[in-house]
Amino acid sequence: MQDQQDLIDVGPRRKPTKQTFRRTRPIWTENKAKLIERYLYYFLMVTKHGTYLDGFAGPQEETAETTNWAAKLVVELKPAWLKHLYLFEYDAEQIERLREMVKSQPPPPLRTKRRDVRVIAGDMNSELPQFLEKHPLRAKEAAFCLLDQRTFECKWSTVTTVAKHKRKGNKIELFYFLANSWLGRALAATKDTQPLDEWWGDRGWEVLRSMGSLERAQTFCEKLQRDFGYTWVTPWAIYDRAGGKRIMYFMIHATDHPAAPGLMQRAYEKAVEPLETQAELQLLLQTP
């Protein structure tokens, strides 16, 4: 991917730096899906192609009318340059909602190849690794994986499979949601520690019990860098509501692509605004 010509000027390539947590225009929980949509929109202006993996693809909200849901926003994203979208889900009702959403999409224009959009039923901790083993991604294919768990559902072995899948080129980018506001209570209340060992990968999660939220997020970022060698790993705070001060999640973004940190910064600041046109985005990103 690095040897492809950029379609837009993404600015200077930044060296890795220790990230801060304070952002000028915070994202709140109901708009976290828009952050993913906006970032992918920007990134596709650079690559014009991509594969999207969603480990917990069904909408977490209980209302049937919800439309602010990452898998739906990403599937409907235009231009439709994401050619491969693989949506994993365990819950039977959510699987049906995903399938109906995929069926509702309009057919591609004439002489345009249909995209590969699949709903894969089952526990993503087993289904996603099996899928990647059978369908390895190309080295030059831009690839993204959303892991929007509630608390401890995503096993570290699954993260390892995704992060180490591509042996050449940039790693699969991660959007990993780390619970925050209730994580301390969940760590203290869990009596059976096996799920915690599987979530963290070992007994190292015990150090989190004595940490504050920002220190936990930074510790998780350091673990991703140490275990997998991602160049940039950044925690983005997701708040409870507009104007709120309670951080519900940290969206941990792990990437090797030099354009990615700047694109995510802009996505975080612009997520709730209307999408820029391609011409507007090109002009804005070329402006110092």
What is the rounded distance in angstroms from the CA atom of residue 90 to the CA atom of residue 83? 23
Residue 210 inside a domain? The answer is yes
- Residue 88 in any domain: the answer is yes
Per-residue pLDDT band for 25 (boundaries 50, 70, 90) equals low
Residue 116 has pLDDT above 60, yes or no: yes
The predicted structure's pLDDT at residue 111: 74
CATH of the domain at 35: 3.40.50.150
Is 20 a member of any domain?
A: no
Structure tokens at 69: 């849901």
The answer to whether residue 20 scores a pLDDT higher than 60 is no
What does the alpha-carbon distance between residue 288 and residue 276 come to, in Å, rounded to a whole number?
17
Domain housing 108: 27-286
Is the per-residue pLDDT at 3 higher than 90?
A: no
Kindly indicate the confidence band of residue 277, based on its pLDDT and cuts at 50, 70 and 90. Answer: confident
The predicted pLDDT at position 24 comes to 53
> Residue 64 domain-assigned?
yes
Q: How confident is the model at residue 12 (pLDDT cuts 50, 70, 90)?
A: very low
DSSP 151-213: SS-S-HHHHHHHHTS-SSSSPPEEEEEEE-TTHHHHHHH----HHHHHHHSSGGGGGGGGS-H
Domain assignment present for 7: no
The whole-number pLDDT of residue 283 equals 64
What is the mean pLDDT of the segment spanning 149-155? Answer: 96
| Structural domain contains residue 39 | yes
Q: How many domains does one find in the chain?
A: 1
**Is there a domain that residue 98 lies in?**
yes
Within a domain: 9: no
Rounded to an integer, the average pLDDT of 227-235 is 97
Task: Tell me: pLDDT of 37 over 90.
Answer: yes
Read off the pLDDT of each residue in 111-115 and give the average, rounded to a whole number: 82
